[in-house]
Amino acid sequence: MNVQHYLDSTYLKTPDQAGLSISDNTKVVAGFIQEAIEEGFKLIMIRPDMVKLADEMINEANSKVTIGTVIGFPEGTFSLEEKLKEAQQAIEDGADDLDFVCNYEAFKRGEIDLVKKEILEGTKLGLAHHKIVKWIIEVAALSGDQIIQLSALIKNVVMANFKEENYSSVFVKSSTGFYKTKDGLPNGATIPTIIMMLENASPLPVKAAGGVRTYEEALEMIRLGVKRIGTSSAKAIANGQIANGDY
């Protein structure tokens, strides 16, 4: 199996988070983009301010690697207007995939109409521009019941408002990789959370982000039914090595 076609190679650290200068962090991003081109990964996932750089490098290399970026990242508490503005700019800069962080805190507070509205409007914007849209639900911040409910909510909004031909372009995604857990608990995809997502998001596809650290774990996720895997160690996983990244 060619796992490269499932891998979204990911680098989302700011210079401060990486402990680097702006120029050095940009060099790291460029290295990830170049690696994605050379290895033939499905996608390179970077911050919105790096989308133009990725677009330039990929076009220059005449590569088929697609570009993803994050919207409302990582907390998901941006207003709908802020998220739509950020997404529109990313589209104009050359992004192919828009990974919105769902306002899971609003969901936990019972503000269901707010969450439904952002899913509807964010998905509408992305699909209108022929983009892939993913909704990050941040499984580590949710209980099992909440994972089930939020996955189903996203599915229901999409099925009620968009045509069946669009379903494959709207994902439910597990994690940002930046959520701080207590006691060393996983902050990314796990087998139990992915199973819950798959069972309740279907027919929408699922992306397992964070926590996939070996080729075997990637294969296991693919066998379960995920269509994408987000990792900061895509090359190591593809080469059968153990990932040493933190996502």
Identity (one letter) of the amino acid at 124? K
Give the pLDDT band of residue 242 (cuts 50, 70, 90): confident
Domains of the chain, start order: 3-238 (3.20.20.70)
Is position 183 annotated as part of the catalytic site? no
Average pLDDT over residues 239-245: 75
Q: What is the pLDDT of residues 104-155, one digit of tens each?
A: 999 999 999 999 999 999 999 999 999 999 999 999 999 999 999 999 999 9
Does position 1 have pLDDT exceeding 90, yes or no?
Answer: no
Question: Are 157 and 149 within 8 A, CB to CB?
Answer: no
Spatial separation of the C-alpha atoms in residues 97 and 66, rounded to whole Å? 8
**And the tokens for 228?**
């994408």
Angle CA 155–161–162, to nearest 5: 85
99, 131, 134, 155: which one is catalytic? 99
Give the pLDDT band of residue 182 (cuts 50, 70, 90): confident
**And the tokens for 68?**
């993803």
pLDDT value at position 183? 76
13, 83, 155, 207: which one is catalytic? 207
7 to 40, 87, 148, 247: CA distances (angstroms): 9, 22, 25, 13
Q: What is the pLDDT of residues 6-51, one digit of tens each?
A: 999 999 999 999 999 999 999 999 999 999 999 999 999 999 999 9
**Helical ranges in 63-214 per DSSP H:** 80-93, 104-108, 112-128, 144-161, 191-201
Q: What is the pLDDT of residues 186-223, one digit of tens each?
A: 888 999 999 999 999 999 999 999 989 899 999 999 99
Is position 108 annotated as part of the catalytic site? no
Is position 93 annotated as part of the catalytic site? no
